[in-house]
Amino acid sequence: MTFLMLLINPMLGLIYTIHACLKNKIINRWKLIIVTAIVFFYLGISIELTNVNADLGQYFSWFPNFVNISYNDLFREAISEKNFFILQKLMLAFFAKLHNNSLFSGFVVSVFYTCYMYIVTTYLKKNNCQKNSVLKKEMATYFGVFIISFGWVLTNVRNPMANAIVAVAIFRDLYLHKKGIITVLLYLLALSMHVAVVPIIICRILTGILFGKNLLHRFLSGVLGVLLVFVGLHSNIISMTSDKISAYGLGSSGGGFAEYAHTSFYYQINNLFLLYVMLFILILITIAKRQKNTFEKQFPVFLTMITILSILSYFLPTPLIDRYGMFVEIFIPLIIVNVKFSQIKKRSRIIIYFLLMITGLFGLAWQIAFLSFQINILSFLGKVFLGFLSLI
């Protein structure tokens, strides 16, 4: 049935699979994760970029320069320059050789939303959330999809993928307590993609040291911190982080991005929306923490720390709330299903329901508006409606 719905229309296939997976145990969560990867890969290859100044447009323009570059040359260059952030050039070299820009845009959004669905479905399946209705679980899942900007994920390339990968690492580490080699590799993979994940990892280390369950967990968090410093001293991580702080930190000019950040209507509205969402999330986390829920202490503390970091980053010379706010949004379905709305006073409950509805609807409408600035929106919506028939 899932395959048939996908053939009829990818979006219908995704909606059906989400409902079937969350309703019962017949559909394995990995089937939903795979369907998510397929659907968002299709959405990614269906775009026609019109904003050539977007990061995605820059990548398209760089591809010709990497067609004939070998991976060995890239690794030798990275080693000689102690450049830890090698993943960008590796991606450029790989997709340049495919001679199809659409495959790259499909890959970018597929990585992000696959990570998102892995976190959400793993959490819901692990806890089974028996006391939560199927409708609540579905609405929480869709709410995250509505407020996470597809256009931002698509056009910003590295930062969204790095955020999604480090989110999986954090989830495995702090919630699933899987601290093995796979989790470490995910941390390193995200870090090698974008320097913006450094503050996220630092928050993880501080959370572990200050709020670890026991002495061993605090010790392991300290080891992670030592490892980060060691890697930083033997690469360009520390120097790159320092350069970014100088460019974007308090008292700086805001970097070359400052003019766009302060003049772009779309960027300013997006940041204001994210600021509102972060404040709303703080309220939901506070409510969830006061109630008995499946969150362990470290996880909500970490989310609170990152949410506050996101809010503070809005007030930098160049607002960087999109760097960290989008990371927090990946976890919002987990926060929503942990809020026991029945225990909230009726008036407050109605207000929260109203805010959730308005936020979700505005997020969806804003996505379409933002996409219309970045891509050929009519062509995209037509391909979404036609589904895989548009590929014929």
177 within domain boundaries:
no
41 within domain boundaries:
yes
pLDDT of residue 217: 78
C-alpha closest to that of 124 among 136, 111, 110 = 136
Alpha-carbon span 7 to 387, nearest angstrom = 8
* 87 in Cβ contact with 75 (< 8 Å): no
pLDDT of residue 250: 65
220 within domain boundaries:
no
Alpha-carbon span 47 to 110, nearest angstrom = 13
Alpha-carbon span 138 to 362, nearest angstrom = 18
382 within domain boundaries:
yes
Alpha-carbon span 27 to 20, nearest angstrom = 6
pLDDT of residue 180: 86
pLDDT of residue 317: 82
B/e letters for 336-374, b = 16+ CB within 10 Å, e = fewer, are bbbbeeeebeeeeeeebeeebeebbebbbebbeebbbeb
251 within domain boundaries:
no
Residue type, 10: P
Q: Which regions of 62-148 does DSSP assign to beta strands (E)? A: none
The token pair that represents 174 in the structure block: 């702090």
Alpha-carbon span 300 to 304, nearest angstrom = 6
- Report the domain count for the chain: 1
pLDDT of residue 128: 62
pLDDT of residue 391: 66
163 within domain boundaries:
no
355 within domain boundaries:
no
* 174 in Cβ contact with 186 (< 8 Å): no
In DSSP notation, 120-132 reads HHHHHHHHTTTTS
pTM: 0.93
* 211 in Cβ contact with 298 (< 8 Å): yes
279 within domain boundaries:
no
The token pair that represents 359 in the structure block: 């936020």
Q: Which domain holds residue 122?
A: 1-48+108-131+376-391
- Residues 344/118/383/55 CA torsion (nearest 10 deg): 100
C-alpha closest to that of 103 among 59, 68, 162, 71 = 59
The torsion region of residue 296 among left (phi > 0), alpha (psi -120 to 50) and beta comes to beta
Return averaged pLDDT per consecutive 10 residues of the chain, 392 residues in all.
75 87 76 94 94 90 93 92 92 94 96 96 76 81 95 93 96 89 93 93 91 82 85 86 76 64 82 95 91 75 94 88 94 93 91 96 92 91 81 64
Per DSSP, 343 falls in state G
